[in-house]
Amino acid sequence: MTKWVLFLITANIAVYLLQGQFPEQTGAFAFVPGRFFMQPWTVITYMFLHADFGHIFFNMLSLYFFGPRVEERLGGVRFLTLYFVSGLFGAGTSMVFSPHSPIIGASAGVFGVLLAFARLWPRAQLLIWGIIPVEARTLVVIMTAVSLLGGVGLGFQNVAHFAHLGGFVGGWLVLRLTGTQPVDERRRVVQARRAPTPTSAATERWKQIQLERLHPVNREEAERVLSKLETRGPGSLTTDEQAFLDRFSGL
């Protein structure tokens, strides 16, 4: 588990345990749109509160599954920005579209992380309820439809559907403004300068990789590296990228 995902999960669990000891304090930290100007801190604190065990369990489970890979790709600063901006947009959309409904939960931040995962690995196979396979990008479409229907009263009640939609919007905006370039891109450039230029035999072997036999996540990375090989030449590949292609060139 990555540093900031571990921090967020730990903080949420700690606050949940405190809620159990001091339940009367929950209202002081929940986000109530009508009280925003009297309790502005609640646009942050509401993200760490949960209604019951099931609520926190599924939020933290989703963060555990999607968060580490997103954090590894974006880096700690961009990951935290993504998470909290998504949460802030969740509060904002609730204020606009559901001004009389208090909200609590990490869902908006988690939805932003889910959107980032789907943007980075759109064809990654996920299992709904552990049995129904669906691509990450399709899951985002499904969750958007569920939230839209729920927002107009056609879905589960007592769910902050507009906060979920706000999480998607906030996540999309952060990715739009900051990009999805890997955090270690500068390191890759340095490594590329030091990496030995691969032989022509190696490059030919890499081009023979059967992409259709790879896991979707590995296939996307292989396509990226092979595209770089094609457009920028063998000398542009880092040691890690060469090792990555070597790993699959025998398949």
Cα gap 216→196, rounded to integer Å: 28
Please pick, among 94, 107, 147, 161, the residue that the annotation labels catalytic: 107
Cα gap 92→162, rounded to integer Å: 9
Please pick, among 94, 147, 161, 164, the residue that the annotation labels catalytic: 164
Phi, psi of 128, rounded to the nearest 5 degrees: -75, 130
Residue 47, Ramachandran bin (φ over 0: left; ψ between -120 and 50: alpha; else beta): alpha
Residue 55 is a catalytic residue: no
Residue 164 is a catalytic residue: yes
Cα–Cα distances in Å, from 29 out to 50, 69, 104, 200?
Answer: 11, 30, 9, 62
- Sorted by sequence, the CB contacts under 8 Å of residue 134 that are 6+ apart come out as 125, 126, 127, 128, 142
Cα gap 116→82, rounded to integer Å: 8
Given the structure tokens 């880092």, which residue do they identify? 238
Residue numbers annotated as active site: 107, 164
